[in-house]
Structure 1
């Protein structure tokens, strides 16, 4: 019985996703339609990619509230370069570089400046949203090439391309966190920063790097969103930071750091995506959807705290 209980606790997020799918499929059989399931995966892809980067930050005991604004500014940059230069490679490369630089900016303020991550990234959220408005002059950037819109709308062997991108990002992140020294240091830092420092780990470097990773994944999200919509809006990514944090928490990662997994984060993103899709199929008002999603997240945190006790 104890082994069964331990197994259930270990896979609680997956079990929760499974039962959620069963309940929604009973209430609305349209949920199991193959096109709808592919639509869910496509909608989940952006949040999943951003949440993967957020996982690295939260595993160290930090937080990144600026990912939505990074998504907006990098998406606007990509759209601008495509509309003016029509260079897909340049647009993607520079967007990823800018995402990494913004992440490094946040990380250095946290690690070297010794400022709380909440304050740094809250300020970053405001600053880079403002930069986006200035860069776009408050208007969407359109006129994007078919090569670029392919990223967010194409299917390869019936699988939406954003889903393939998410899977690639997941594999890279899984390898980093599970098979490298860097990954072990991330867990060590989140578990006990003082012990990690005394054991010879360059904690400042690790802190900076996790924010760089978060910036890169936010930029990937920006490219996907801009490509899917076919234009870059200065309002893009608003609220995405909350969905990313929710996915990480629902996936079983502790906000205190040192405990969690990338696979769990993907499951957490799926829970949010399935819940949103199910509520839409049931014609639930968007106002009530926010309440339901908030209650689910709160319940997940309470259950996690009770299990730890």
Structure 2
């Protein structure tokens, strides 16, 4: 009997995100007839694509028992850098040179910027023993300041149809951002489930001291994870900028909240070592559906923040309760 109850409890825990999503969709379908429509479904998919990219990187960090509060600011800075390279290139006065960028070159430049910012987070955390919360909080401010300096506080607009296609185009009837998010998820799943790096990530989050004694290079793994997360935040910034056809200096505000919410709701433990990318995808869908439903119901944006904060708190309480039972 006890064994059967434990099996039932484990099964419920495994599918709790899916059950929560089904309940949420059922409630919203009764409260508004605009929810279950094809257009709204595509709109939700387009909106959650960015959060999936960011939250996937956040998942890898949380699995190592870390956190990254800078993803929203990194998103804004890298989006601005990408369109700045695309529109204005780089001038080198000393050599009287001008370097222009193609669309692909500008995108790679933006991703490299995100990778470097993430690398700096990982370097500060591993080499100077700065707590992840403090290091990434500092980067949140630094990156936002650099965004304001780079854009001079003004949007960079009129970016062209090719660039806009990344954020607002469709392929085979599915929004391009959804395709991009799907590739990111599959890559992250492959890393976590099929590579040594994935095993190292789980080992560090489960017991860092034991992982160190087993010969794992803790610092290298953490720096790689934070760098990867920075690149994914940059990718999210490129998508957002393309969708808006404008690099906004204040883009990405509170995006770290949605990313952390997706990770926690998806079942990844904030203590590290437990969780999955697929769970985070489900968490991002729940957050996206919740945001969409609140908008359709004309709920005040201020109350939306209250609701999301409450959902995060509830998810953490459930996570901690599960850890005590284990």
Match of 2:153 in 1: 138
Matched, 1:19 2:23: yes
Deviation at 1:4, TM superposition (A): 2.6
Match of 1:210 in 2: 225
Instruction: Please tell me whether the aligned partners of residues 100 and 216 of structure 1 are also in contact (alpha carbons under 8 angstroms).
Output: yes
Match of 1:232 in 2: 247
Among 56, 60, 65, the residue aligned to 2:60: 56
Match of 2:51 in 1: 47
Higher mean Cα deviation, 110-119 or 194-203? 110-119
Match of 1:9 in 2: 13
- Please give the alpha-carbon distance, in whole angstroms, between the structure 1 residues aligned to 2:177 and 2:150: 26
Match of 1:258 in 2: 273
Match of 1:88 in 2: 103
User: What secondary structure is seen at the aligned counterpart in 2 of 1:32?
Assistant: coil
Q: How many residues align?
A: 309
Instruction: Please tell me whether the aligned partners of residues 83 and 143 of structure 1 are also in contact (alpha carbons under 8 angstroms).
Output: no
| TM-score, normalised relative to structure 2 | 0.93
Instruction: Please tell me whether the aligned partners of residues 82 and 145 of structure 1 are also in contact (alpha carbons under 8 angstroms).
Output: no
Instruction: Please tell me whether the aligned partners of residues 247 and 268 of structure 1 are also in contact (alpha carbons under 8 angstroms).
Output: yes
Unaligned stretches of 5+ in structure 1? none
Among 164, 169, 174, the residue aligned to 2:184: 169
Superposed CA deviations along residues 207-248 of structure 1, whole A, max 9, x for unmatched, are 101100110100000100000000101101111111111110
- Please give the alpha-carbon distance, in whole angstroms, between the structure 2 residues aligned to 1:277 and 1:167: 20
Match of 1:69 in 2: 73
Higher mean Cα deviation, 250-259 or 84-93? 84-93
Superposed CA deviations along residues 103-127 of structure 1, whole A, max 9, x for unmatched, are 1111011111111111111110101
Q: Which aligned segments of 4 or more residues in structure 1 are displaced greater than 4 angstroms? A: none
Task: Let me know the Cα RMSD of the aligned residues.
Answer: 1.0
Match of 2:264 in 1: 249
Match of 2:169 in 1: 154
